[in-house]
Structure 1
């Protein structure tokens, strides 16, 4: 069956919508994502067979049915993470990050026995950043942004907003591979304008993190591409 795939900007929009921070409904975001890859089937009137051949994980089924998603289990976070292009999510990795490597930043589930959207976003960020940084470097970056891990009200920027910002920058890089992320203003200007309450140093910390994360995602892309070519080299050796 065909896998349901989401770009990071689509995932960030979905998460913002689930958290109630978007005018778009989660279902509409999923519909738009699926539609862009099935224009031919829609024009031919064969969209139903195409959708039936798409693998829809339980968490997406819940969203499609219009059910409220206030929190996410580790399994649901991993399931969503595997939908993201170029990602390498696993339940085991998430459990290690939650219980050991990033325990101070992730903490306990904040939505009953489930994790909040922002906690899920932190896990998605870790998966992106580890393509270019070691865990200690990621923790240092988190210290710059989230100050006291046990509190949310002192964060320089909400994790979901940060994820949306660097996902947008990566989309710019995809459209123009020659683009220098450091010179791109379009994806960062909007978020920076909303951070006027921060000091100049704090705003630079946010901007630099957006650049680091976007470049790390680009690294994920190249790693994924290299694995595809490697698998092709082995498979086609006949």
Structure 2
């Protein structure tokens, strides 16, 4: 059966909807994501029946939005519905207990983590494709301040995740126009990062530089992960067919 996976932008929208924010409900976000993925194939009941609906989606669609929290296993299950993402419970457990403990903090909802904490772990997963944990801690500490008070963040986790996800989607649609593909992509991502900040009127020039540079960093590291995943796919196919 076909897997039902989300782009990072759709996942950001889904996370926002789980907080009761945004313009659409969680179900509407998933419906839109599925419809967009099947636009060329045709949207039909038969097509949906051929799609495997992940148990984590089914569970969250039934959940009370006022009481949503995630165990480590649920964060992993949800994160693995994002394109080119490969989380494991053991790895995430190590992150929250050691590698990014001071960044993520303790579970905000009893023994469960909040939607914002889940988003931060997805951001960490993206960044670790090219950065070490010390670098990840340092750059994210510039964005996210008091773990228990999101109001003092330069930008909150989900809007930040959504911002670089949107930049990525646009960058992946680029057509070459004279410059090398790599140079063009880098310049485009920089331009889109600056454009994203236009809506943040209260930022100082220094804060704009910080957020812009980290948006570019996050976007490029996800592209790196994409190419790494694509490389593994071709290597696996070659060895399987010719081994």
TM-score after normalising by structure 2: 0.88
Report deviation, 1:42: 4.2
How many residue pairs match? The answer is: 234
Report deviation, 1:58: 2.1
Do the aligned partners of residues 66 and 112 (structure 1) sit closer, same or farther apart at CA in structure 2, a change above 3 Å counting?
A: closer
Distance between the aligned counterparts of 1:41 and 1:144, measured in 2?
Answer: 43
1:197 aligns with 202
Report deviation, 1:13: 0.9
Deviation digits for residues 115-141 of structure 1 (CA, Å, limit 9, x no counterpart): 111101110011100111111110110
Distance between the aligned counterparts of 2:134 and 2:118, measured in 1?
Answer: 20
2:50 aligns with 53
Do the aligned partners of residues 40 and 209 (structure 1) sit closer, same or farther apart at CA in structure 2, a change above 3 Å counting?
A: closer
1:171 aligns with 169
Q: CA RMSD in A?
A: 2.1
Describe how 1:126-205 pairs up with structure 2 within 5 A: 126-149=124-147, 151-176=149-174, 178=181, 179-184=184-189, 185-186=191-192, 188-190=194-196, 192-205=197-210
Describe how 1:12-23 pairs up with structure 2 within 5 A: 12-23=12-23
TM-score after normalising by structure 1: 0.89
Deviation digits for residues 207-231 of structure 1 (CA, Å, limit 9, x no counterpart): 1110000000100110010000110
Describe how 1:21-170 pairs up with structure 2 within 5 A: 21-39=21-39, 42=42, 47-65=44-62, 67-68=64-65, 70-149=68-147, 151-170=149-168
Question: In 1, are the aligned partners of 2:174 and 2:185 still within 8 Å (CA)?
Answer: no
SS of the equivalent of 2:87 reads coil
Report deviation, 1:151: 4.1
> Which residues of structure 1 form unaligned runs of 5+?
none
Do the aligned partners of residues 16 and 40 (structure 1) sit closer, same or farther apart at CA in structure 2, a change above 3 Å counting?
A: same
Report deviation, 1:94: 0.9
> Which residues of structure 2 form unaligned runs of 5+?
176-180
